[in-house]
Structure 1
Amino acid sequence: MATPTFEEKLEKLETIVSQLEQGDRPLESALSDFQVGIGLVKDLQATLKDAEDTLAKVMDDDGNLTDLELTND
């Protein structure tokens, strides 16, 4: 089985959130879904952090990697 893509994980998280917002699930199922959702959030955050780290490096004219300073505006 292939590892789910970022988009697939995000879609699964959105489904879980939607189901939890409806509030009609048994407590045990809701707690289980919540735990799965937390795991997905952590995976998605790690993927985004990796992407940010990759984008923070750029090649200079000589082909060398240089760090790009990111600002939080």
Structure 2
Amino acid sequence: MSEPSFEQQLDQLESLVTRLESGDVPLAEAMAAFEQGMALSKQCSTLLNQAEQRISQLMNEGDDAPSE
């Protein structure tokens, strides 16, 4: 099974935040949701960093292209 996309992970994180902000979640569930949210946040951050690095690499490759 493939890893969820950035967008799917972000949607899941937003859903968790909404649930936690409602205040209607028992403490044990809130802690589990918080832990899951932290993991999702780290995964999203990693994916964003990888995208930034790829964009930077592509931009640098474009600088090396011969001009006409």
User: Normalising by the residue count of structure 2, what TM-score does the alignment of the two structures yield?
Assistant: 0.85
| Structure with greater proportional strand content | 1
Displaced runs of 4+ in structure 1, greater than 2 A?
A: none
Deviations 1:13-71 (A, max 9, x none): 00000000000010000000000000000000011011111111132215xxxxxxxxx
- Secondary structure of the 2:39 match is helix
- Secondary structure of the 2:7 match is helix
Structure 2 spans left out of the alignment, 5+ residues: none
User: Normalising by the residue count of structure 1, what TM-score does the alignment of the two structures yield?
Assistant: 0.79
RMSD value over aligned CA atoms?
1.0
Instruction: Identify the structure with bigger relative contact order (alpha carbons < 8 Å, sequence gap 6+).
Output: 2
Structure-1 residue corresponding to 2:22: 22
Structure-1 residue corresponding to 2:3: 3
Give 1:2 shift: 2.4
Give 1:3 shift: 1.3
Number of residue pairs aligned between Structure 1 and Structure 2: 62
